[in-house]
Amino acid sequence: MNSKVDMDAEQVNIGVVGGGSWGTALANLLAEKGRRIDFWVYEKEVKEQIITTRENKVFLPGVRLSENLVPSNDISEVVSGKDIVVLVVPSHVMRETAQRLAGSLSSETIVVTASKGIENTTCLTMFDVLKQTLPQIPAKRFAVISGPSFAREVARKFPTVVTVASMDAEVASLLQGVFAAPYFRVYTSDDLIGVELGGAVKNVIAIAAGIIDGLGMGLNTRAALITRGLTEIRRLGVKMGANPRTFMGLAGAGDLILTCTGDLSRNHTVGKKIGEGMRLSDILSEMRMVAEGVKTAKSVYNLARKLDVEMPICNEVYHILYEDGSPKEGVYRLMTRTLKQELDER
């Protein structure tokens, strides 16, 4: 393993952990650049599908995967000896997954999280979860990749632009070169907190946008909700030490707009079905892939209360999801709140 941060982006050894749609799309992007990518998938059926048909029919059907993508159900085998490990698992299993692979990583490993969520029990971001579970790795060797990036569109090579953030500029620059492709442009940032929060909280706002669409309330309403939702994300981010400019970038406004308006958004889909009258339990029982905003709504609600951050849209989403609140009554409460100036100091 090369211990230098300025290692050649074309020569690094990479393991990708997580065989959902986004993990598969990222792993395949890296594999199509000509390097072997060891790829951990949880389901044995997914491993066999990739080996025999070069397709992940469960989570990314219809996309032919590179021969350089090597699936495995052995997580230690996938991450051992790697320069870079990319974690793309649902946020609620990030801690357990990191604990499983901790003994196979060295202090020189660069760990990248592409998961978008906040842990329920602790209200920690994925970066903070990983710092706790992988104490042997210095904070500067962690990174986050986020931005407006539906997995299926990346897999189809539609032009996509994202941000990779790290406390270490050299780590961010290396990863920029590792992930960049003619259809996948990568910017760098040092605002790891802001990039993570933008990617996580936008899923909660996307559920709200879906509810608005399910209620048939129109484009004016959706535009207002997205705009005020961005204000809530910024408020929380600034309170937690993020750069407010981050939320006007790819990991903020960019990802928020995509997830609140795109038909491929699982979170928007959940919200729309709720707006149409379905119960959350019935919606989730029909889904095999995770809608991160459902669990993150609880984390954001508790985090906002803990930090005394005003997040009325996120609060209403929590009440609808977890307290059987009425979507129409939630909209009414938002619209009849005390009148205020648009721009606040936070």
**Block mean pLDDT (10 aa), the chain, length 346:** 63 96 98 97 97 97 98 98 97 96 96 96 97 97 98 98 98 98 98 97 97 97 98 97 98 98 94 95 84 94 97 98 96 97 78
Reference 179, options 167, 195, 192, 162; nearest CA is 162
Whole-number pLDDT of residue 5: 66
CA torsion angle for 299, 303, 304, 305 (degrees, to 10)?
110
pLDDT for position 89: 97
Nearest to 62 by CA among 43, 45, 44, 49: 49
Considering Cα of 190, then 194, then 197, then 198, what sign does the dihedral take? negative
| Distance in angstroms (rounded) separating the CA atoms of residues 87 and 17 | 5
pLDDT value at residue 288: 77
Token representation of residue 16:
């990708």
Q: What is the pTM of this model?
A: 0.95
Residue 278, phi-psi category: left (phi > 0), alpha (psi -120 to 50), beta (remainder):
beta
Predicted local confidence at residue 344, as pLDDT: 78
Report how far apart, in Å, the C-alpha atoms of 37 and of each of 72, 174, 261 are: 11, 17, 33
pLDDT for 6 equals: 59
CA distances from 11 to 174, 212, 295 (A): 11, 48, 38
Domains assigned to the chain = 14-190 (3.40.50.720), 200-335 (1.10.1040.10)
What is residue 68's three-state secondary structure? coil
Strand residues in the chain grouped as ranges (E): 14-17, 37-40, 69-72, 84-87, 110-113, 142-146, 160-166, 184-189
Q: Give catalytic residue positions.
A: 202
Can you give the pLDDT at residue 45? 96
